[in-house]
Copies of this chain bind each other. A is one copy, B any other.
Amino acid sequence: SRSLNLAVIPGDGIGQEVVAQGLKVLSAVLPQDVKLETKEYDFGAQRYHATGETLTDADLDALKRHDAILLGAIGDPSVPSGVLERGFLLKLRFAFDHHVNLRPSKLLPGVATPLAGQPEIDFVVVREGTEGPYTGNGGTIRKGTEHEVATEVSVNTAFGVERVVRDAFARAQARPRKKLTLVHKNNVLTFAGHLWTNIFNKVAEEFPEVTTDYIHVDAATIYLVTDPARFDVIVTDNLFGDIITDLAAAVSGGIGVAASGNINPSGDFPSMFEPVHGSAPDIAGQGKADPSATVLSVALLLRHLGYEAEATAIEEAVSADLAERVGKPARSTAEIGDALAVRVAG
């Protein structure tokens, strides 16, 4: 019999509520013969306030033993900006070498979009997850004085760029349209830009069936609102990926339905799956949060572990649930979770 050993990090704010629904749907969709084990971890603002810890070496050792990690949201206004982000979220991505940050955007039928004319949107962003301006390189001199200088260093390596570009080409190759767009700013950030562009062009030779193009990140934001259908797979740097995937989420139904995977394709460390949204402290504990993004993150988790049919079942359930919402009164977080669990079990 098979087993799935999951680390669960509800985290802060609405994280608790949405993760509960994610697990509910996961239990409902898993085949009988799969033994699901979950262990909950208490990372987040509360633990930080109580102990000063965000993510220790012992924590990483414990997390390492799981098949995958499901995370709700981390972050609270009571913690200074950057502490939990750098000390937990980014620390985990870097420690477990989550270099493929996968963020699909699909505008499902019936789902509201701020764009006029309900355009077709169905693309995936492959965001690099362990390099670029996210490395924490940089520093400050003469802090707090009128002569302060602060730097941020974007670090880009052939090794790091090539592996994520190759991953993106493979994903493009596996999709019907087989199109890959590189998004960067190679006319200004010429050092990193040339590295990305050269590697992209080199790897392209190995994937002759994949159509490629290049767009500057600023122009990409224009296309995301005027012609999102032009995108199939996008590969981009860590920071550009952060920015354009929030915009992508906004135009394709909002962050209530945007899922993501922080993937280590080698399997040396467990991959982590989380909704793109944050902890939303303003609506926490009220049963108002939409668990769909977390449930869709569970689908990405299942697909990553080889449960393709179960992943698809979840995606179809969410799609059907969203289509049925139109004109109906709002349901609670748990009601949506219940409805999705029924659908995937049925």
Contact = CB atoms under 8 A, between A and B. Distances in A.
B191 A218 contact: no
A194 B144 CA distance: 10
Nearest to A217: B243
Interface stretch (A52-60, A164-172, A244-252, A262-270): A244-252
A188 to B, nearest CB: 6
A312 interface: no
> What 7 pairs between A and B have smallest CB-CB spacing?
A218-B246, A221-B247, A148-B158, A150-B195, A152-B154, A150-B191, A85-B187
Given A113-B116, A195-B150, A188 B156 contact: no
A192 B151 contact: yes
Interface stretch (A28-36, A134-142, A335-343): A134-142
B225 A114 contact: yes
A149 B161 CA distance: 10
A148 B225 contact: no
A152 B150 contact: no
A198 B82 CA distance: 14
A186 B149 contact: no
A151 B152 contact: no
A286 interface: no
A287 interface: no
A114 B186 CA distance: 27
A133 interface: yes
Interface string A110-147: 00011111000000000000000110101110101111
B225 A246 contact: no
A96 to B, nearest CB: 18
A255 interface: yes
A216 to B, nearest CB: 9
10 contacts: A115-B115, A133-B189, A146-B162, A147-B157, A149-B156, A151-B191, A218-B243, A218-B245, A222-B246, A222-B255
A38 interface: no
* From A117, A148, A162, A249, residue with most partner B Cβ within 10 Å: A148
B140 A150 contact: no
A190 interface: yes
A102 to B, nearest CB: 16
Given A82-B186, A222-B247, 13 more contacts: A82-B190, A114-B116, A134-B188, A138-B192, A149-B157, A150-B191, A151-B155, A151-B192, A185-B242, A222-B249, A224-B247, A225-B225, A225-B251
A284 interface: no
Interface string A214-256: 0001110110111000000000000100111111011100110
B152 A198 contact: no
Contacts of A113: 116
A300 to B, nearest CB: 20
Contacts of A191: 138-140, 150-152
Interface in A5-63: none
Contact of A140 (B149, B195, B217, B255): B195
